[in-house]
Structure 1
Amino acid sequence: MSRSVPEILENIDLYADDQVDHLLDALAVARTECPIRHTTADGGYYVITRYEDVRTVCENPELFSSAQPALRGVPVRIIPVDSDPPEHRHFRAFLNHYFSRTFLLRHEEQMRKIARTAIAAFLDRGELDVVRDYAIPFSAGSLARVVFATDNQDLVQRGVAAVNRVAVESTPETFQRVAELAMEAMAEVENAAQEREDVLAALTTAEFDGRPLTVEERLGIVTALLLGGLDTTRGMIVHIAHHLATRPGVERVLRTPDWWRNPLDEFLRYQTTVSFMARVVTKDTELSGVPLRKGDRLAVHFYSANRDPNRFDHPDELDLTRPSKPNAAFGMGIHRCLGQHFARIQLATAFEELLTRTTNFRLKEGQEIRRMAGVPLGTPQQLWLTFDKR
């Protein structure tokens, strides 16, 4: 049974399945009544709900550390997500080049082939589960090819399968399998690193403070790249597909060549797929008048920030004509998402290829859409749509 807004506000739990349906409503009340709200869930933390407070936390890493970026932890390091200055700057310095839009566009044709292969598997059925039939195989396949970046097709296929398992299961065993394959791929690259230009080659030659990266650091970076891309792209494909099937005019927008600019920003603002991340207070301070102690944990709620009426007019409406305005969908400050250009390229490619072969999407009758709690807040666990072939 879903909890009501007053029940949620008594003790917010960002991972509780029975709070999903009304959590955004509760956060809206919190933004007005108590915008920095404490909860005892998961050992206790403060939920930061307003846009300006979220920005303050994200832009002050010396006060609010990213060393523990997940409230419930992760089994391995996720670099540079869990890095603070000055370490963070060194890791981003060599990674930025490989995740620029210009560099990533060299993978565009591979992404199109991945999309076409996934579409071919369901095209004649006239229906699909967007999550398993398209979002997961497309996002996992794209990530594996971009991150592993090898001509060894056996390794690529094993990488795709491993990333798929992480997307579906997210167990320590699936993370371990990805780590093993990353090590295999880096070992393959090591002897030819000077002749290649890709992220794995960069990891084998990069230095930090005059020394090579450790094995843990290399694995931490690969894990962060894979996890970040999975959550953002997979979730947004599903959300946009739901709007495609339920809102008149969305298909027309998605057929516009530059929809990945302003309209995509609005999709991201409206349904932020990485809804929150954690920070730890490094010394006694205050935030908007609320005293915080060293060691206090914060849940920086990007989704709530993107629904703040002090930042956005009519924020609870999806307005694909909304003028462009920076939002928190990819984070803020030094930890703004490294893969944001990759996400935009993938999303543009996914829907361009899908709509080349299909049209007139509808929700499949009789299905009950169950939505996720936690970081991918509100993302459907399954989404069955029917369509017509073009």
Structure 2
Amino acid sequence: MAVDDRFTQFFREGRDDEPFGTRNEIITGPVADWATDFSHVEPEWAADPYPIQDDLRQRCPIAHTGRFGGGWLPTRYEDVAAIAYDTERFSSRSIIMSNFRPPRELAPVGGTPPISSDPPFHHDARKLLLPAFTKSAVATREAATRAFCHELIDAMEGQDVVDAAADYAQHIPMRVISDMLGFPPEDGPRFREFIENALEGVNLPPEERIERMGRLFDYLYAQIRDHVDHPRDDLTTYLINVELYGHKLAPDHVAGTMALLLIAGIDTTWSAIGASLWHLAKTPADRERLVAEPGLLPTAMEELLRVYAPVTMARLVKEDMRWNGVDMKADDWVLLSFPAANRDPAQFDRADEVVIDREVNRHVAFGLGIHRCVGSHLARMELRVALEVWLERIPAFTLADPEAVTWAAGQVRGPRTLPLRVG
């Protein structure tokens, strides 16, 4: 089965009333002023976005850009929260800000339901996934996750310097998600390619983006066919057989949800694990305290999620409107920076500090509103187990070369290379 025509349309069409190219041009390069020309794909944003966000929060809390056809970046917690909860004026039909927009006809389902879905469809599509992500369901995966983390560290034996991102953090969610979906574990390297194409290739020419996303969906449809022929007890077989409104899900719904779980379920957790290890490597006092007080880890983990929240989501403005002092146009992008919201001093005391014993911590690393992360229990389990095993096996580690650490550009930020000196 080739890529579904409706999904291909997702990439081929721009605004309903404008030809391709008018609001879909490719624009990269140095930023003149982050208040009027921001770009979340520039290297300085990937390297350290927090000073930029802090500056904007003070002088221009809802920044604008003409890039990607026009978009907005709120940096205050209250603005991010207001938009996240406002499904009447903001659509989720595309949650990745790129150089082209999906057609409005894709709403309310979107290409990757339920995260791309608007009400009322969203509620019912999301409800289908809940049983697989309850605390009890997640708990059944902890032992295998822990054993795999030990295997990864066993493979590092004898090395003085290891890449904690490439050799550890990325593999953990890859294995967990592939097991959930019933994919061959040896396909893990392909998942990384799919993730980078979806999240870091947002400024590629549309034809190339279509071709790259086509490879992902060809893979997913092949997995669906294999599961139809050979059903087993996994999430893919469940999605094939489950009913919504009295009918089985359409193949593009199944494939879109699988794409969501594969891409979002891997990169976000991979980034959170890597960022946490980066912080502990450069902050010996926090590392030593967690080694001495392992019971503090769940509290510390929430603080690391707050300070290094990896995920920014996008929305599309439904109609022209005046919103909190700015004139938003229909189909303008809005980037919901949960990392910026988590560092708003109006919401958090000592917002820019890592306080690993912070007791009151209502962070929004997993989002807000109807699209709050359905896999938060799973992500927390993976992060906790990954850190527990690492600190147990490698209690002493430092950054081998701070300048060699690289970070992903785009809407999911985490270390891509993280050389650590161990022992």
TM-score by length of 1: 0.87
What does residue range 189-228 of structure 1 map to in structure 2 within 5 Å? 189-190=227-228, 196=233, 198-228=234-264
Answering whether residue 301 of structure 2 is matched by residue 264 of structure 1, we say: yes
The residue matched to 2:408 in structure 1 has which SS? coil
Alignment-derived partner of residue 148 in structure 2: 114
3-state SS of paired residue (2:387)? helix
- Among 284, 295, 299, which residue is 2:331 paired with? 295
In the TM superposition, 1:148-167 aligns within 5 A as 148=182, 155-167=183-195
Of 28, 48, 62, 1:36 maps to 62
Q: Do the aligned partners of residues 309 and 80 (structure 1) sit closer, same or farther apart at CA in structure 2, a change above 3 Å counting?
A: same
One-letter amino acid of the counterpart of residue 166, structure 1:
F
1 CA distance for matches of 2:185 and 2:213? 16
Corresponding residue number in structure 1 for 2:8: none
The letter of the residue matching 1:357 is R
Match of 2:9 in 1: none
Which residue does the alignment assign to 1:138?
A: 172
Alpha-carbon displacement from aligned partner over 1:235-257 (angstroms, at most 9, x marks no partner): 11111111221112333454445
Match of 1:123, SS? coil
Tell me the equivalent position of 1:71: 97
Distance 1:19 1:167 in 2: 19
- Measured at CA, do residues 35 and 249 of structure 1 come closer, stay the same or move farther in structure 2, by a change above 3 Å? same
Give the alignment partner of residue 235 of structure 1, picking from 259, 268, 271: 271
User: How far apart, in 1, do the equivalents of 2:297 and 2:130 lie?
Assistant: 21
- 1: distance between equivalents of 2:384 and 2:44? 34
Deviation, 1:267, is 0.5
Give the length in aligned residue pairs.
Answer: 376
Moved more, 29-38 or 364-373: 364-373
Picking from 46, 49, 55, the partner of 2:81 is 55
Percent identity, please: 28
Render the CA deviation track for 1:240-283: whole Å, top value 9, x for unaligned: 11122111233345444554532211111101111x22111223
SS in structure 2 opposite 1:385?
A: strand
What amino acid sits opposite 1:386 in the alignment? R
Provide the alpha-carbon RMSD of the alignment: 2.7
Provide Cα deviations, 1:130-183, integer angstroms capped at 9, x if missing partner.
Answer: 1111112222112111222xxxxxx52343342243356657666555544443
The structure-2 alpha-carbon separation of the partners of 1:11 and 1:165, relative to structure 1 and needing over 3 Å to count, comes to closer
Distance 1:191 1:260 in 2: 44
Task: Give the 3-state SS of the residue equivalent to 1:277 in structure 2.
Answer: strand
Quick one: structure 1 residues 140 and 386, their matched pair in 2 at CA, closer, same or farther if it must change by over 3 Å? same
Q: 3-state DSSP class of the match of 1:125?
A: coil
1:373 aligns with one of 384, 397, 409? 409
2:387 paired with 1:387: no
Which string of whole-angstrom CA distances, capped at 9 and with x for unpartnered residues, describes residues 273-328 of structure 1?
Answer: 11x22111223443323333333221111111111111011211111122223222
Paired position in structure 1 for 2:375: 339
Q: CA deviation at 1:351?
A: 1.7
Question: Measured at CA, do residues 10 and 383 of structure 1 come closer, stay the same or move farther in structure 2, by a change above 3 Å?
Answer: same
Q: 1:16 aligns with which of 22, 42, 55?
A: 42
* Aligned amino acid, residue 24 of structure 1: Y
TM-score, with length taken from structure 2 = 0.81
In 1, Cα distance between the equivalents of 2:395 and 2:144?
23
C-alpha offsets along residues 340-377 of structure 1, whole Å, 9 cap, x if unaligned?
A: 11111111111222223222101114753333332134
Which piece of structure 1 moves more, 244-253 or 41-50? Answer: 244-253
Q: Counterpart of 1:299 in 2: which secondary structure?
A: strand
Partner Cα separation in structure 2 for residue 83 and residue 244 of structure 1: 37
Q: Does 1:357 align with 2:393?
A: yes
Structure 1 unaligned regions, length at least 5: 149-154
Once residues 371 and 205 of structure 1 are traced to their aligned partners in structure 2, the CA distance between those partners, rounded to angstroms, is: 39
Question: 1:19, CA displacement in angstroms?
Answer: 4.2
Distance 1:279 1:81 in 2: 11
Counterpart of 2:129 in structure 1: which amino acid? L
In 2, the alpha carbon distance for the partners of 1:376 and 1:293 equals 25
Q: Once structures 1 and 2 are overlaid, which stretch shifts more, 212-221 or 317-326?
A: 317-326
Query: Residues 221, 352 of structure 1: CA spacing in aligned structure 2 closer, same or farther, 3 A cutoff?
Result: same
Alignment partner, residue 152 of structure 1: none
CA distance in 2, matches of 1:168, 1:135: 15
Matches within 5 A, 1:81-100: 81-100=115-134
For structure 2, list consecutive stretches of 5 or more residues without a partner in the other structure.
1-28, 103-109, 202-208
Q: Distance in 1 between matches of 2:397 and 2:84?
A: 39
The structure-2 alpha-carbon separation of the partners of 1:165 and 1:39, relative to structure 1 and needing over 3 Å to count, comes to: closer
Q: Distance in 2 between matches of 1:366 and 1:294?
A: 43
Describe how 1:319-338 pairs up with structure 2 within 5 A: 319-338=355-374
User: Separation in 2 of the partners of 1:203 and 1:313?
Assistant: 43
Contact (CA 8 Å) 2:307, 2:342: kept in 1 or not? yes
Answer with 200-209 or 306-315: which moved more: 200-209
